[in-house]
Structure 1
Amino acid sequence: MDPSQTLPGRTPVDEVAYARLREVVSGGGVVVLAGAGMSTASGIPDYRGPDGQRRVQPMQHDEFLASPENRRRYWARSYAGWRRFQAASPNESHRAVAQLERLGLVSGVITQNVDGLHHEAGSRRVLELHGNLARVCCLNCGEVYSREVVHDWLTEANPGFRVETQEVRPDGDVVIPEDDIARFHLARCVVCGSDQLKPDVVFFGGSVAKPLVEQAFAMVDHARSLLVLGSSLRVMSGYRFVRRAARLGIPVTVVTRGDTRAQEEVSLRVDALLGDVLPRLVADLA
């Protein structure tokens, strides 16, 4: 079964809106702005429900920096959830975006997701706005490590640490008992010895590096249209690109379920699951 069929909120696609979407994409020069809805069919949930309300409370940037105890809480939960998060694979929507790029219609992808699934699906020009959980950096000395390497260090530091859970949260962690967190040991940077190892992602409350933002703005500036996929645009990190496109007179199309923040800037909205739209779009335009 198509994974998207298991998701709530399935509704028939508005054929008039779909026809307009097909026309927009067929013109090429499309820059995709991808949100969490891209990865829900891969088993990675969104932060927000259909009503736009946040369902989980992620680790905050300042909270992570504040104390070793907070970092222990993050890493214990992230360690427990990593293998399930890592096992996620691209879904048909990721593959459709990659195919639209190969067809010369999509010129680039700006993704707010940290799962690396666009790359895995075959997209080549991908800007990971919020980083990638597959990398870990030391906040003290700047050394960068593979997440696999750090996972092995954590395994060595925590022999016998086992937490059974079927849950996967948007940032890869899971909820585990406080007693399990208390007995978890942090890994340390092998270069400087610091315990300030952090996944190379932007936590809530953190900021995207300015050069990366400028690179994303440049992609939008050169686009013929901006296609927002699977995002409510509640967070300014992504919404600013919609505002930029609207100011430049670049058409903005949104394909997602539920309401979005960008009611006034959007030229066209398709209220549908991505799995019901993108593979069909590829079939029509190939």
Structure 2
Amino acid sequence: MDQDHGASVGSGHSGGQAVASSGDIQRLATLVRRARYMVAFTGAGASTESGLPDFRSSQGLWRRVPQHMASLAFMERHFDEFVAFYRQRIEALKGVQPSRVHRILARWEAAGWLKAVITQNVDGLHQQAGSRRVLPLHGDLRTCRCQRCGRTQPSEAFLSRPYCDCGGRLRPNVVLFGESLPAAVWQQSHQEALRCDLMLVVGSSLEVYPAASLPELVVRRAAAGEAVLAIVNRDPTPLDEQAGLVLRGVAGDILEQVDQELARLGSNGDPVE
């Protein structure tokens, strides 16, 4: 939903309070290297390094504007204000570049380690970085659609005139508060959570539902020895105590260190001297 992404990124230690140690970095690199089917689950913290705000931290978007402005009810009752709010958000994407998180995950996909990215983000930066299999749970701010006929267009149409040729209202192609997640994307994401043997959470508070039920599903599978949940996030999450590994800090820093460790391990998983 455009309610989306919870907190920010970062990490710490299993269960934990400590900042990510070199041992944690090595353990995560080993998990990535040994996984047969790794899936990433990303939130707003993956994009903060690109200059985009998260949603629920002390500096988050919902601290500055009322959350109900991203609701279906607000769009229907206060369309002009809704348009002004979303025009600002769309304009804010111009010139924004993928962060280290986006670029590293795209490289891991190209290397065959990462099979899919499930994201709560609507900024399109995973795709811009080169990720090919992205499941955007909460939609896409770079496109808009007609509320009447359903026609999809680039977001520039919404910026110039928020009405379709059919006379219907254009709105960003994101999930608003009060709307359901897109059924096809949700079904695919649920299947990925059932299939993966490693889910890597990056930059999500894991507080927004139903998206957060996907890492919860992996936790239940972990209890049966079927999968591992690893969390990289700046702040604590509700699943820290149940995760196999938690690293707390700046997500870009952590993933960069893991990427370097993967390079050190080499293609066979053995250290390259």
Q: Any idea what SS the aligned residue of 2:63 has?
A: coil
Q: Any conservation in 2 of the 1:47–1:54 contact (CA below 8 Å)?
A: yes
Structure 1 residue 263: Cα displacement: 3.2
Q: Confirm or deny: 8 A CA contact 2:19 2:248 kept in the other structure.
A: no
CA offset at residue 12 of structure 1?
Answer: 5.2
Tell me what 1:251 maps to.
228
Q: Which moved more, 1:100-109 or 1:204-213?
A: 204-213
TM-score by length of 1: 0.78
Give the secondary-structure state (helix, strand or coil) at the position aligned to 2:240. coil
CA distance in 1, matches of 2:164, 2:60: 38
- Please say if 1:263 is aligned against 2:270: no
Tell me the percent identity.
33
Specify every segment of 5 or more residues in structure 2 that has no aligned partner in the other structure, as ranges.
Answer: 1-8, 13-17, 264-273
Superposition CA RMSD, Å: 2.5
Structure 1 pair 62–53 and aligned structure 2 pair: CA distance change class (3 A): closer
Between 55-64 and 253-262, the greater mean CA deviation after superposition: 55-64
1:134 aligns with 2:142: yes
1:53 CA displacement: 11
CA contact (8 A) 1:98 1:118 kept: yes
Deviation at 1:8, TM superposition (A): 11
Stretches of structure 1 that go unaligned for 5 or more consecutive residues are 1-6, 154-186
Partner-residue secondary structure (3-state), 2:92: helix
Preserved CA contact (<8 Å) 2:145 2:172: yes
Equivalent of 1:62 in 72, 78, 97: 72
On the 8 A contact 1:35/1:111 being kept in 2, the answer is yes
> TM-score, normalised on structure 2?
0.82
Change (3 A) 1:54 1:133: closer
Summarize the alignment of residues 79-90 of structure 1 with structure 2, pairs less than 5 Å apart. Answer: 79-90=87-98
How big is each residue's C-alpha offset from its partner over 1:32-57, in whole Å with a ceiling of 9 and x where there is no partner?
Answer: 00000000000101011169995243
Matches within 5 A, 1:184-263: 187-190=162-165, 192-194=166-168, 196-249=169-222, 250-263=227-240
Deviation at 1:87, TM superposition (A): 1.9
Deviation digits for residues 3-62 of structure 1, max 9, x if unmatched?
A: xxxx99999532222222111111132100000000000010101116999524332433
Tell me the distance in 1 between the aligned counterparts of 2:61 and 2:83: 26
Please report how far the alpha carbon of residue 85 of structure 1 lies from its aligned counterpart in structure 2 after TM superposition: 2.0
Please give the alpha-carbon distance, in whole angstroms, between the structure 1 residues aligned to 2:95 and 2:60.
27
